Each structure stands twice: as C-alpha cells, then as structure tokens.
C-alpha cells in the first residue's frame, strides 16, 4: 500500500498543528479563519482516525497528551518543511538565515550585548532575532530556536536544553544611598517592592521569593505591580523601588552602575530558562551551531 494513502486529510493536520502549537482550539480557529467548533470537529476526527487522544479537554482549556505532543512535533516539522521549501522555491528565504525567537527581556538585556560574539564565531550565518512578550505558542512565524522562561506555554516545540539562573533584589543606587550593603532580608520591608504579576504566574514573585528563603510573608509598606518585566526593571532604574532581578538579565545593568544588588541571599533555579528547537529541519548544521553557542553563553 502506498504510504501516503495513510495520511489523514490535510485540513485535519493543519487544524491539529495550529491547536497543538497554541494549545488552544479558539486560537487555532482564529489563525485558520475557522470556527472553534470546526477546529474541534477536525481534531476529534483525527483522534478517531489515529485511535488515540491528542488533547485532554478540561473546563477552561485543552492540553496536549504525551501522544499529542509527540505527534505535534512531527506534524509541525513536516508542515514547516513544506512551507519553507515552498517559500524557497518562490525565492522568499535566505539559505544562511537563522531565526531566533527570544523572550523580550532576555532579548534586550541578555542577548543583545552578546550578539557580536555569535557573529565573530559564525560570520557566514545571518541571525534574525524576533523578540516577544507573548508565549511561544503565540509565535506568528516559524523559528529555528526559541528561548523563554521555563513553565511558559511552549506547545509542541521540542525542548533542547535548560539553563539555570538566580533571583535576588536589585535597586537604583540612589534609593540605598548612605546604607551599608548588603542589606538584610528584613530591611526590604522599608522599601516599595516592584512586582511582576501575570496570569498564569510563571515568574517568581516576591511572596514566592520570601517563602523560598524561609523568610515568611513580607511587610512592605507599598507594592507597585506591573505586567511587563522590562518595565519593572526600568522602574527600578528610575528609583521607584526594589525589584527582583534575574541574574542573567540584570548583570549588565549592575555592571553599568544603574542597579545594585541589595542582599547576599538569592534563589537559585536550576532550570529557569528553556531553549527549544523550531519546526524547520533544512538547516541542521547551522541550527546546531546556534544551539552550541547558546549552551556556551548560558553555561
């Protein structure tokens, strides 16, 4: 029997790929200009054809099963290869270009100062950086490698490796002028705390930081809340209060004297950042070069 005769209808695969990547039937419907009901029916038909559940349906969303995650990687890679080759035939791609999808804060504070080192090591490779505050499941174009905080939605993207980071309080030198550093944890109660809160709360916030160090609930007189971590850091630089700083993101600001580390205490997280492979396989050697460079830099 012709192996292609075992392929499910393309419409079902497209609906599944979008839903797996976004982990959302509604998001897939919006992307494909279909109704949510149509996407749900396409995926149900595909599950019936395969004989295995690809998603768990819960009250407030859908979640990939392990079989769904594996199948999602295969389907995403296959459709990505087809799209890429079609684009190549149209002359719409550059053979030496790699696309790195990077979380906004890491792109701005961690990646940018290091890009020259990548180009020195691989002068023949072109690197296009896509920075985003949204999760990887909401990426609007194909990528070769992606970097974001562990625990954020990644859909069917394949995890390549994780990297550690540490979290500690930082502030503008001006607001601690005259004090002897390092401060104690209890001293932080005297300052406005700058908080980064989102739903779901995949980033560590102050309460979790204090709890991790066994310090109990804090008693700060004031807390300012933001939904964007780069804005939190800029508020700290402007002297608005004390922020939690991720070591990789704030090291440059500390070196420039815009921020200072306030306490010796920190929370170390062994798998704070995740690096993922994208769904294109035509540039394996170049992708491995980028992964190797990221491992060295994140090591």
For position 201, what pLDDT does the model report? 85
Pair (53, 107) in one structural domain: no
Q: Are residues 48 and 141 in the same domain?
A: no
pLDDT value at residue 1: 47
Q: Which long-range contacts (CB under 8 A, 24 or more apart) does 45-51 make?
A: 45/12, 46/8, 46/12, 46/13, 46/15, 46/16, 49/8, 49/12, 50/8
Within a domain: 153: no
CATH of the domain at 9: 1.10.10.10
**Do the domain assignments include residue 156?**
no
Residue 200 structural domain: 164-271
Strand partners, 166: 268
Q: Are residues 170 and 256 in the same domain?
A: yes
CATH number of domain containing 124 = 3.40.190.10
- Give how many domains the chain has, as a whole number: 3
Q: What is the predicted pLDDT for the residue at 177?
A: 86
177 and 262 fall within a common domain: yes
The DSSP string of 203-241 is S--HHHHHHHTT--S---S-EEEES-HHHHHHHHHTTS-
pLDDT for res 260: 97
CB 49 within 8 Å of CB 56: no
Low-confidence ranges of the chain (pLDDT < 50): 1
DSSP class of residue 22 equals H
Distances (CA, A) of 160 to 28, 117, 264: 25, 21, 32
Looking at the fold, whether 45 and 190 belong to one and the same domain comes out as no
Segment 230-279, tens digit of pLDDT: 999 999 999 999 999 999 999 999 999 999 999 999 999 999 999 999 87
């Amino acid at each position: 029997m012709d192996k292609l005769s075992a392929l499910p209808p393309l419409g079902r695969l497209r609906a599944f790929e979008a839903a797996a990547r976004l982990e959302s039937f509604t998001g897939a419907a919006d992307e494909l200009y279909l109704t949510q009901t149509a996407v749900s029916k396409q995926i149900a038909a595909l599950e019936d054809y395969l004989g295995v559940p690809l998603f768990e349906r819960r009250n407030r969303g859908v979640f990939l099963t392990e079989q769904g995650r594996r199948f999602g990687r295969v389907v995403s890679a296959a459709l990505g290869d087809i799209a890429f080759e079609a684009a190549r035939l149209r002359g719409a791609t550059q053979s030496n270009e790699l696309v790195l999808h990077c979380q906004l804060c890491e792109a701005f504070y961690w990646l940018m100062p290091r890009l020259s080192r990548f180009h020195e090591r691989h002068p023949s490779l072109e690197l296009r950086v896509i920075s985003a505050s949204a999760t990887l499941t909401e990426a609007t174009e194909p990528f070769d490698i992606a970097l974001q905080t562990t625990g954020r939605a990644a859909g069917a993207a394949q995890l390549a490796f994780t990297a550690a980071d540490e979290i500690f309080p930082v502030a503008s030198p001006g607001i601690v002028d005259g004090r002897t550093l390092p401060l104690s944890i209890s001293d932080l109660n005297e300052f406005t705390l700058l908080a980064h809160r989102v739903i779901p709360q995949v980033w560590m916030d102050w309460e979790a930081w204090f709890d991790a160090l066994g310090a109990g609930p804090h008693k700060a007189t004031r807390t300012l809340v933001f939904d964007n971590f780069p804005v939190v850091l800029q508020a700290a630089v402007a002297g608005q209060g004390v922020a939690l700083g991720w070591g990789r993101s704030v090291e440059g600001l500390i070196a420039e004297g815009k921020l200072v580390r306030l306490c010796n205490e920190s929370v170390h997280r062994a798998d704070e950042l995740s690096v993922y492979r994208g769904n294109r396989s035509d540039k394996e050697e170049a992708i491995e070069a980028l992964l190797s460079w990221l491992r060295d830099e994140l090591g």
